[in-house]
Amino acid sequence: MAENENKDPEKGKKPGYSANNIQALEGLEAVRKRPGMYIGSTDAKGLHHLVWEVVDNSIDEHLAGHCSKITTTIHPDNSISVTDDGRGIPTGMHQKLQKSALEVVMTVLHAGGKFDKDTYKVSGGLHGVGVSCVNALSSELVATVHREGQIFKQVYNQGKPQKDVEVIGKSDGHGTTIHFTPDPEIFESLEYRWDTLSGRMRELAYLNQGLNLVLIDERTKGEDGEFKSEKFHSEGGLKEFVSYLNTGKTNLIEQPIHVTGKEENVEVEVALQYNTTYSETVFSYVNNINTREGGTHVAGFRRAVNRLFKAYGEENGYFKKLKFAVSGEDFREGMTAVISVKVPEPQFKGQTKGELGNSEVTGIVSRVVGEVLTNYLEENPMQAKKIINKVIIAATARHAARKAREMVQRKNVLTGSGLPGKLSDCSSKDPVDSEIFLVEGDSAGGTAKQGRDRMFQAILPLRGKILNVEKAMEHKIYENEEIKNMFTALGVSIEEKEGERVLNIEKLRYHKIVIMCDADVDGSHIVTLILTFFFRYMKPLVEQGYIYIAAPPLYLVKKGKQFRYCWNEEERQEAIDTYSKGENDSGIKIQRYKGLGEMNADQLWETTMDPSTRILRQVTIEDALEADHVFSMLMGDEVPPRRAFIEANAKYANVDI
């Protein structure tokens, strides 16, 4: 018996699972082992999340009243420095852990001043894992602190301190600089995007009026020899934010409605403005963190808007002639709003803080917003009437849109499959394996049909330029033949649930929806029209990564039997140099593809449709705020901002705007 008791009962079993298989990860090992749990992902989004974590700490210093300027620098090697003029991270000895407080903050999860409400009343860095996560996921991080007349420094590799905190000089200033290099062992991409970083800096400037933010890119120099840079500062705060979001739109009321208030230590600030468009644009923040999935603060805001405007309309008899009920969605059509709350102890869902869960915030926001809206409606009857008239038009259009949707869906049921006649479907019925190409024109559509792999590739030709949905009422959209064809081909439908318009994608027939247009100005315009439609009416398809843009080549460079496809001017010149071998050769032929129809079916297949060789650009919404702003500007009513944007970003010469 004694012999049996000493035997390992797990021995000889495969796969083994014993006490030896239980790993206890110490320090920051857990972050390096499972980075996605802490920063969401290890792609470009996760890479930029590192910057947000460091900047958020500096923003918290600003919220506490100790920081007026934050400078973020992208260095030539794509490392990042964030410098603030806050108090500086404490460097004294931590009594419990017997090491410098700086080292504790940088190397211990859930450590920091954010848990001490005397130090930070509100904080974006709620979990105390932010900067330590950045440290763990950096090949090198250098923390430099100006504090108490001295300059302190500590260097870390993959989260591990290389030596103790040292004093490297004297200083009469105060603040912290974090310089980190993302670890190539962790991240798929190491290149920082200017547009992504500048978009967030602009956002932070509006959310923290009076704060100075500077972004410097040492990878790019201007004609003056200076590094590319931009300063962000706002004195108008959320009111300016809403005006920025409404660029390109025609405003219904001249000035945004501004709400400020405080209840139970929760600070509420809201700015809203109505315009003549047909979509709702709402961005929400908690302690400066963008809550992309909304939450209780958004629910409270919507409750107040619905309640107050409905009561005002009924009391003044505006809804008497309507034969159907007005819904919450009608009160928010054409409304642009920014909701910002400061909550001492926010309850977020996950480290990426996508949704606020504090139940008490709903009532607080509803009451604060409701009080201001009540006063506004009483004091501004002309503006109130404009808004209510807009609501009535929205309700009427929604009623018409529901009928139009029902007609489209009923037709699908009555005609069997309900698939458009122009659709050349694929054999596969598995959405995961299937892809559909939305092709510009019948000519290119015919070439694509000949060149495709019928097993998994479907082709839907689109005639001309589809309707600009940015300027159209919803019921008009369902009358557009090309848009109806896209709805029926994709198998998705728009439904109403609890007064909200929701896209049902349960029967989506393809998990790759590829927009394939000519590589010219008209083609780019059609791509933009289609993307605007997807962004406004099928956003879940974009959010889940189902939308792609094909990249047909611009040139074919040929010499004898040698040939090479080229997607830009650099590749064209490289091909010419290769074939000419440095000599002036008139034997090289260059074909510029002005349209997909100019290609043979086999050429279109091997360059643009063959999964083994093609280039597909996945459409993502890295910055929903900036995407909304750009779509409104490009497809809206105002010409000057559109002209300025196109001139700054044009890829083609002599563009006729």
Where in the sequence numbering do the catalytic residues fall? 440, 518, 520, 522
Round to whole Å and give the CA distance between 25 and 29: 6
- Burial pattern 225-246, b for ≥16 Cβ within 10 A else e, equals eeeeeeebebeebbbbbbbbbb
Round to whole Å and give the CA distance between 245 and 206: 11
Do 434 and 510 form a contact (C-beta atoms < 8 A)? yes
Q: What tokens were used for 655?
A: 């563009």
Q: Find where tokens 């949905």 sit.
A: 469
Do 70 and 211 form a contact (C-beta atoms < 8 A)? yes
309 φ, ψ (degrees, to nearest 5):
-70, -35
Q: What tokens were used for 583?
A: 């000599």
- Residue 655 Cα to chain centre, angstroms: 28
Q: What tokens were used for 46?
A: 């996760």
Residues whose CB is less than 8 angstroms from the CB of residue 407 and which lie 6 or more positions away in sequence, other chains included: 478
Collapsed DSSP state (helix, strand, coil) of residue 432: coil
- Using CB atoms within 10 Å of the CB of residue 79, give its burial: 0 to 12 exposed, 13 to 18 middle, 19+ buried: buried
- Burial pattern 286-311, b for ≥16 Cβ within 10 A else e, equals bbbbbbbebbbbbbbbbbbbbbbbbe
Identity of the amino acid at 535: F
Q: What tokens were used for 605?
A: 């297949």
Round to whole Å and give the CA distance between 498 and 329: 10
Round to whole Å and give the CA distance between 617 and 552: 11
Identity of the amino acid at 40: G
How far separated are the first and last CA of the chain, in Å rounded? 91
